[in-house]
Chains A and B, each alone.
Chain A
Amino acid sequence: EAGVAQSPRYKIIEKRQSVAFWCNPISGHATLYWYQQILGQGPKLLIQFQNNGVVDDSQLPKDRFSAERLKGVDSTLKIQPAKLEDSAVYLCASSLRGNAANTIYFGEGSWLTVV
Chain B
Amino acid sequence: DQQVKQNSPSLSVQEGRISILNCDYTNSMFDYFLWYKKYPAEGPTFLISISSIKDKNEDGRFTVFLNKSAKHLSLHIVPSQPGDSAVYFCAASENNNDMRFGAGTRLTVKP
- Is the CB–CB distance between A43 and B96 below 8 Å? no
Q: In the docked arrangement, what's the CA distance between A45 and B3, Å?
A: 13
Q: Which residue of A lies closest to B4 (CB)?
A: A42
**Known contacts A101-B34, A101-B93: A44-B101 contact under CB 8 Å:** yes
**Known contacts A42-B91, A42-B103, A102-B34: A56-B43 contact under CB 8 Å:** no
Instruction: Indicate with 1 or 0, residue by residue over A74-107, a CB within 8 angstroms of chain B CB atoms.
Output: 0000000000000000010100001111111111
Q: In the docked arrangement, what's the CA distance between A48 and B61, Å?
A: 33
Q: How many A-B residue pairs lie within 8 Å, measured between CB atoms?
A: 55
> Which chain A residues border B41 with CB–CB below 8 Å?
108
**Known contacts A101-B32, A109-B43: A43-B93 contact under CB 8 Å:** no
Q: In the docked arrangement, what's the CA distance between A99 and B89, Å?
A: 20
Which residues from chain B sit less than 8 Å from chain A, CB to CB? Answer: 4, 6, 9, 32, 34, 36, 41-46, 49, 89, 91, 93, 96-104
Which residues from chain A sit less than 8 Å from chain B, CB to CB? Answer: 4, 40-45, 48, 56, 58, 91, 93, 98-109
Q: Which residue of B lies closest to A56 (CB)?
A: B98
Partner of B44, one of A44, A91, A98, A99: A91
- Is the CB–CB distance between B96 and A100 below 8 Å? yes
**Known contacts A99-B96, A101-B96: A43-B49 contact under CB 8 Å:** no
Closest 9 pairs (CB-CB, A-B) = A42-B101, A106-B43, A102-B49, A43-B101, A101-B96, A106-B44, A99-B96, A101-B93, A42-B102
> Which chain A residues border B99 with CB–CB below 8 Å?
45, 101, 104
> Which chain A residues border B42 with CB–CB below 8 Å?
108-109
**Known contacts A45-B98, A102-B49: A91-B43 contact under CB 8 Å:** yes
Q: In the docked arrangement, what's the CA distance between A20 and B93, Å?
A: 29
Sample 28 A-B pairs with CB under 8 A, ordered by A number. A4-B43, A40-B9, A41-B103, A41-B104, A42-B4, A42-B91, A42-B103, A42-B104, A43-B44, A43-B89, A45-B98, A45-B99, A56-B97, A56-B98, A58-B98, A91-B44, A100-B96, A101-B34, A102-B34, A102-B46, A104-B46, A105-B43, A105-B46, A106-B45, A107-B43, A108-B42, A108-B43, A109-B42
